[in-house]
Amino acid sequence: MKLVILDRDGTINEDRDDYVKSPDEWIPIPGALEAIARLNHAGWHAVVASNQSGIGRGLFDMSTLNAMHLKLHQLLAKQGGRIDAVFFCPHTPSDGCDCRKPMPGLFKQIGERYGVDLTQVPVVGDVLRDLQAGSAAGCQPHLVRTGKAARMSDAQIDELCTQVPGTRVHQDLDAFADWLIAHEREVLGLPADPEATGRKRDA
């Protein structure tokens, strides 16, 4: 099973300093849903691992979170893609749980649910804790320069990467999808994807 684990806020959808609290505030980052669909079409299963402390803070309830994810699924379906499952931590930092990133609990749940070894499973996020959680579970860390990372300087990005060795940096989820699909074809000894080559020529 080809699995990729994605952060939500700042990676798939626009982040907010005051938390994404409703479906109206859940706005996809341009190109992100299309990127997930392209990964799906290349045989990758995508799951989300997300801190959602807004529940623990009383900013929104489970029905609102479900409505946000329904919007995600519906918009993604229009692009021909899908998220297999959303794993989330509802706790606040003071709860001391194992599922709030940077702890690896969510990733362990994903590994158990799908019966897969997480070694080298790509994890994509926009903040340090996403990469730390994934790396602690054995995943391959990838940083996208969207969300909170969009406000970081090159020096700050370099410093972040030194804290999680092996981190690859991509402009956004679209660029990550290009890299992962091309990397797999290279490993398998396949020629470059002509569709991806055309996309880059048009860009």
Catalytic residues: 7, 9
Say if residues 20 and 53 touch (Cβ distance below 8 Å): no
User: Per the omega criterion (within 30 degrees of 0), is the bond before 30 cis?
Assistant: no
Residues 44 and 122: their CA atoms lie apart, in Å, by 11
Residues 172 and 118: their CA atoms lie apart, in Å, by 23
Residues 175 and 118: their CA atoms lie apart, in Å, by 22
Residues 201 and 199: their CA atoms lie apart, in Å, by 5
Residues 53 and 192: their CA atoms lie apart, in Å, by 42
Residues 77 and 153: their CA atoms lie apart, in Å, by 35
Place of tokens 């509802």: 90
SS3 103: coil
Burial class (CB in 10 A: 0-12, 13-18, 19+), 11: buried
